[in-house]
Structure 1
């Protein structure tokens, strides 16, 4: 719920406060703008601060409009000042004023007004509606099935009035039952006349367009058909000092783009050619001048049509879009298609990455005045059987523009380059199409000069010429893929060379290894260590591929003996058939190179594979594992005696009113029984034994001799008072200080051990600081969930996801070690 100024539970203020609170000058500053991307209302200062960067300057922002005065409290007329500008709650039948509840109570608390009668505002509107409906008279009697009934006036219900959104320009003229808009027969006569006058001012009679005609601006090969500014002016038939805005239209072929422009800007005159034939009547780019509205209207070739080079056509359309002030995307479909989302997203990316920089360069090169902000986009959506997008959730609910932005986000598309996005929907069940909503949307955007202003036609020509010279030349044709092989083949790619596996999907179920096309050779990458060693004797004599990996010790050596030999003789290569075939430092000098003993082969590195030489040197980790095993064994054997001894020692120095540890079997508050791993705590107030949760409170207990420092107490003693009478607590205080000191020493010892563990980590293990959750079950690690490493893949796993122990000879572990559930399923490949 949005914040309002001094809102109470009885009234509702019309003042909307700033929700950013970033650069507000005063507390509770009044909001002036609302941003559909930020989803917040903002004051002047915050709006400038938030949208100062280039990343946010294209956000769709609009100025908040004050509510209609006939909805607000008339407290001033009744002698009170409604400082919060509240909405009216009641109607005083005697004063004939709308008042909020606060103002009504103030002005009618005493005197004659105390007896005034009040009713709710909604009830007052309902009465007015019924009274006006009684005055509605049809002009002529018609049958029940005739839908041509015309009324002199028909007042709108207040609920319908609140759900109207002229910002989105919805139309449903051919389907009066739809809730998206009010049919013409239900509009007040004055309102209809006003809209008609506005449309007449925007779209004059056809006689004004007698001399208008279109000309080819660029052909389908991206070649400009106008060579100079003078020729451009002559074909436009306009003054060189005229100030115009550019409006272009895009959409799929056959959706009626040329027809839309003719009826929106030229009173139905066929300025742009239309045809009932199957062949497209618009090839390339055509332009015409609208003298009434001072606009340069551009018609473009339709998308999805047959062309020699689809990429070249798309590049031409994107260049036209870049110089436009208003872009109309015309779609005639029952639902919005993904091709529209992809085209507008590509246009946005192209504008930000290429066109904006080139347009800025053109401003300096030709001394032009070109806006760096992208055009406004109008999506003109016409349906036949389905409803158009409509406002949801009331006046401040989800708009059609919000729904469209959600579709862009779901499709991973972006429209950051466009200055604003508008939706115009119309459902045409009985032709012809009603273009008045589109005309109104274009009219409002033409009148808005805050983002893009009109400019001379010469500037338009030079801008288009600049972009066409910069982005031209040959472009590859899209290669049609009649059989999308990647839909059915394995998605794995080699990390080193990028080659794709050519086997079918999920081939690992059949225990087939990854395989590239025609056994393509891989490239050696040092960071992956994708070089494997093969026993030369087994390969030549027996024809067997036996992979050997560098290890700290042989399979017959224990940890300590293997470590000693590793320090003295270096790493070892051990073949399963031939035994030890190589030691890196077997002699003091003259040791052979490893590749003279074995066959080296560069292998593909597939995702989750265990190949490669990196990480097989694990001598330090083996030593740490041995130490940890020894420490865990000693600790588990001596855990219970140590705990009993600690509790007995604590009882010897405990105050007299404390319950001995030996008699505390369960928490005195929650009743949960203690186990040998649970810590017992004493309340300093009552001396009872509690668990950690029930004794996590602190307050001074001076009546027991604990001084004025906060100490541990239970919940009951936190709210009450402890019993009077001091007890000797000095021994206990000294014991706590000693315990804290020993704990600090233990922490200081744990720190270098942690550093040692990290330094002993094999190279293929993921560092502890980069692991936040289990690799298998995605459980977050905490002090209760220990972090372990799988010896096969090196990922961090929890104890539940690594219960098995298996040898991993490919990583240098010849004896059973911890592996995760995923690697356990691939035990034959370890």
Structure 2
């Protein structure tokens, strides 16, 4: 040991002997609890509790290891000359919960004592993620192990920590460096790692050689043999001590720590406030519960700890972005292609002319164009089919496919793309959220409008209305060109039937069976099913999840079937029971009628004489006086002027 280091160690020891700060709680405090929540209010609180508000620069040392290996005891001896700054216990179970912090003025070190690895805890995955966040803000990391041999758990822990530091924490630390105006980015190089092993019966690593650094080489070779890496760390050093009779000798470890603290070639001291800002930034970015069924227990820092937990509803692929990326207005993204699922309608149509010109303009099948009169547009739908309207090119397609059979739009005017579906996303629901309500607003007039038309448009009306209130797992009528059972193509006069179990379209002969289908929500007796589902006895477990996507749609369909017989012939005006489907066909974002007691604007209580209305933009219940204005709300699927409340009328960018 050099004479300079001996003096440094003596000065540190004297510094601690001269200070007597009382009980344990006066020197250390809980910085982060086991739920990953910061326990200090702000930067000023952090500096005050550490007692280093007037210090220009500090470094951070943290200690890791298995439960019961003496981490707290080690920190007390190498930094505080044995003073019980961090609480210790003779019990083999963990006595440190969360992360505790204390300041060592002798070396200018912020010491972080962590909860033990592999201990008995209900939130293992959150604890493992917490440990990595502590490791990421450290300058010196001590891995303390009391074992006769170095176990693979230690190598896996450090290697996974290195990978996670580079993959997930580097961007956040780089952004923090830029915000704080640091000359050297915090993410340029990871901490220095010291593996401190204490044995009793076995020799230390590299004992047979007198070559300096031979033990470090053997340690790195072990990483290599296991196929693991430590690229993120500035150095990995081995320090060992053999304790045949207590007490443990910590001088070699203390010497190694002092060397790293005094070495400013790779990492320089930084303001204590920067330490708090780094921990706060990582805590805010990587937070939230981690489901144990998605992450294997005792798995060291898999990507699931730090990436978005959202899963595509159609193909079950995880989002590849980091946690809480929606705060930065970054949408969900996933690797690979998704597959189409008609219950989610996740096929987007992109105007081909715009796409070839370098723009991506999404077009959505609608009942009427934005330039059509709202009532005339619904009547025109019965005659000419749905319309595709590009915001740049105008109307590019009218289907007529129900009674003329022209080519699909994919053959010439649009480019189809299947997109991933994320929970809570409205990308694929814009046109369908208010479809049922548009039926209620215009079906009566539309049916009267086609009184003198032929049977072709009459079938279009029936099929369109059926699709608007159909359960989400039913295949739309527009996509049913042949029987799913016998594969016979449907003629114009043929009627399509939906199996209440699988949702596919069949002819009369292939769907003549009936049986109860309670798992799809069809209560009250037997309903129409196809021959295959009748033989199988119902849907499988995977289909049950699909049926829960939009239970209100099934309610609307059940009510619609009561009145469907009245739509078979439209030779005269049809008295359709709209009152039955009014409640269930309303858009999801509308506040239910039973929850609306008073006007959302003026707070007047609704009575029999004061009618309640829904704002088409925000979905709140308002009175007539507070919703006298109309305007289009394209983001909600209302292309024509509709009722909006006074607040949304003033706020033009409202949904």
Normalised by the length of structure 2, the TM-score is 0.43
TM-score relative to the length of structure 1: 0.34
Higher relative contact order (CA 8 A, sep 6+): 2
Whose Rg is larger? Answer: 1
